[in-house]
Amino acid sequence: MSEAGTTGAPSRVAIVTGAARGIGAATAVRLAQDGFAVAVLDLDEGAAKATVEAIESAGGKALAVGADVSDSAAVEAAVERIATELGAPTVLVNNAGVLRDNMLFKMSDSDWDIVMNVHLRGAFLMTRAAQKHMIDQKWGRIVNLSSTSALGNRGQANYSTAKAGLQGFTKTLAIELGKFGVTANAIAPGFIQTEMTKATADRMGVPFDDFIKGAASMIPVARVGQPEDIAHLVSFFVSEGAGFVSGQVVYAAGGPKA
């Protein structure tokens, strides 16, 4: 395989889940800039096409893939398709996520289950399917998207639990897969300006601009994060130069969190 742009990686194929918008889309675009062919995976394949078009218009290579990351058969089929059409994937960014916020006494079984299924089961299934290609190549990079909510957040018992679980998952992957040349790290973003945070503001009945200003006032760097801030950190973690960094959780929140 030819090298992946500036990363020096022996494979050029990356998978980014939840890549139709927000952090996932920015990450897919950034990895394409780094020289990877990118599988833009989302629940709705049609929604992923805008990201693919952005990559292709800049001269990159990308493939829109529709799959429910919590469905084992769908995940296996998606990874097989990616391996066939783009090549063996050796970078996986587990970004797909949903919110079902509520106070504990109001939280339904389905509120809990869907968040666990997408975040935790989804990351497990995607990683299990992709790791075989990394092991075959004797090189791989896994990046899981956690959150500062892993430290606890009112109204997010489900989301906080899932995001904390991803940190344990990451550390275990680092231990199990390190001898095969595969690293695993997690990024825990703070407030990032996306459709997801806008949905939170809408749910709270707060104008988004006010929501952003309020959040920025509590962040040491005096601004909220942008999807590109997280994409930049992903770019580092998947680079050749980050090969001795594994099992780590970086809180990208504009200030100290953990």
Burial of 19 from C-beta contacts in 10 A (0-12 / 13-18 / 19+): buried
* 159 classed as catalytic: yes
Backbone φ and ψ for 90, nearest 5 degrees, come out as: -120, 5
**For residue 101, is it left (φ>0), alpha (ψ between -120 and 50) or beta?**
beta
Cβ(125)–Cβ(70) under 8 Å? yes
Selected catalytic residue, list 36, 112, 159, 251: 159
The CA-CA-CA angle for residues 71, 234, 127, to 5°, reads: 25
Contact 13, 35 (CB under 8 A): no
The whole-angstrom separation of Cα 97 and Cα 27 is 14
- 140-145 β-sheet, strand order: 62-66, 37-42, 13-17, 91-94, 140-145, 182-189, 249-252
Q: Hey, which residues are catalytic here?
A: 159
